[in-house]
Amino acid sequence: MTVILLANSETYDKTLLKPVTYLAFNIDRPNLETYCDQLFKDGLKNPVITTQIKGTTFKQPKFVFTYDGTPIDDLHLQMEMVKISMKNVLRNVRINQKDSCRIMLQFTEDAINFLYNQTRHVKQYNFGGVSEQREISGAFKLRSKQAISEKSSIFLLDVDKDSVRKGDKESAAYIQSFGTFHTHPYDAYDKYNVCIAWPSADDYLSFYYMYGVCYSGFHVVSTLEGIYLMSLKRYIAPEKVLKRYSKIKDNLEYNHGADYPETDGTKCNIKNGKFTLKKINRYVKIINNKGKFNLVFATWDELRKGPIKLRYAPVGQTCLLSNEQGTRLREMRDI
């Protein structure tokens, strides 16, 4: 690994770019957008903002780009990485506090259909000659679409089919990725005679742990009634999550568990596809007021109509958008 540290007036020698090279410079560099465009042309990518590279700590945050010798798959996504992180930095300066990253997520039709069908009774798996439902988990592929305003950017979400794992009847495997999901299938509703299955305390705990392990940005719980989108409300150093996990675990289990509403035969019944939206809205408000997680609920019809807002905690001052960014940032921070 090589680190090239530049002053604002300095340029770099492209012949020095060998896998893996980190190129670091001040975030207030003049003509930042034009300079970043040139870095992308030279094959540097996955920008993050950090005050630490290995054992060296900087007084002011640096933009760090990585050269690994591989081509850039989505140039617009790389450009959005710079823009969204800089907007977060400017908001923090303006309001003098740690603010959250803000983007809009548009689920593709294929992703919606995949998640929708996995919760339904029609989706079965064969285990030892017996056809039954299981929870599944997996990761999303995030790609840029377009800027919809000066304040927000829109990103398309596809299911990474290669990442999908079949779990047990009432649990699913951890997936290390920036954006992940798991399902609450029909059979579990039927077994416990419930009509709504919002995230369990274990769901919050699992996401919190994965943030500590791989800087996960958001997690989706796919249910019969719709999707629940969870994210971390405020920044906490990921290493602290892992060190204090046993203490945090008891607190999360106690404060974020809530019984599921039982089927009542008419207004809330999985047999006829009805559920009580008022109960869901009340639950979402309670979780958001607890202060640790952002939670958004969207029905399947709402998902098909357009994007939904995601607010999530930056890692330091970086608004991550990819697994690769998280990997590089962990390497720089020696985590």
Q: What is the pLDDT along the chain (335 residues), one digit of tens a residue?
A: 789 999 887 889 999 999 999 999 999 999 999 999 999 999 999 999 998 888 888 888 899 999 999 999 999 999 999 999 888 887 665 544 456 899 999 999 999 999 999 998 655 655 566 667 788 999 999 998 755 444 567 899 999 999 999 877 667 888 999 999 999 999 889 889 999 999 999 999 999 999 999 999 999 999 999 999 999 999 898 989 999 888 888 888 888 999 999 988 778 888 787 888 999 999 999 999 999 999 999 999 999 999 999 999 999 889 999 999 999 998 887 75
Q: Is residue 120 part of a domain?
A: yes
Residue 96 lies in a domain: no
Beta bridge partners of 2: 21
* Domain-located, residue 92: no
Same domain as 199, residue 132: yes
**Looking at the domain assignment, is residue 148 inside a domain?**
yes
**194 and 147 housed in the same domain:** yes
Does 171 lie in the same domain as 52? no
Number of domains in the chain: 2
Strand partners, 274: 269
Residue 126 and residue 78 share a domain: no
Quick check: is 286 in a domain? yes
Question: Do residue 266 and residue 178 come from a single domain?
Answer: yes
Give the 3-state secondary structure of residue 119: helix
Same domain, 226 and 80: no
The residue behind tokens 């285990």 is 127
Please give the helix or strand (H or E) that residue 331 lies within, else none.
helix 323-332
Domain shared by 328 and 264, yes or no: no
Residues 173, 215 within the same domain: yes
Kindly state whether residue 298 falls inside one of the protein's structural domains: yes
Domain interval for residue 31:
2-85+324-332
Q: Are residues 328 and 306 in the same domain?
A: no
The verdict on 108 and 80 lying in the same domain is: no
Decide if 121 is inside a domain. Answer: yes
The pTM of the full predicted model, rounded to 2 decimals, is 0.90
How many C-beta atoms lie closer than 10 Å to residue 301's C-beta?
8
Q: Environment class of residue 91 by beta-carbon count within 10 Å: exposed (0-12), middle (13-18) or buried (19+)?
A: middle
**Do 175 and 291 reside in the same domain of the chain?**
yes
Residues 6+ positions from 103 with CB-CB distance below 8 Å: 84, 152, 153, 154, 155, 309, 310, 319, 321
Residue 319 domain-assigned (yes or no):
no
The pLDDT of residue 248? 87
pLDDT confidence of residue 59: 87
Question: Does residue 16 share a domain with residue 122?
Answer: no
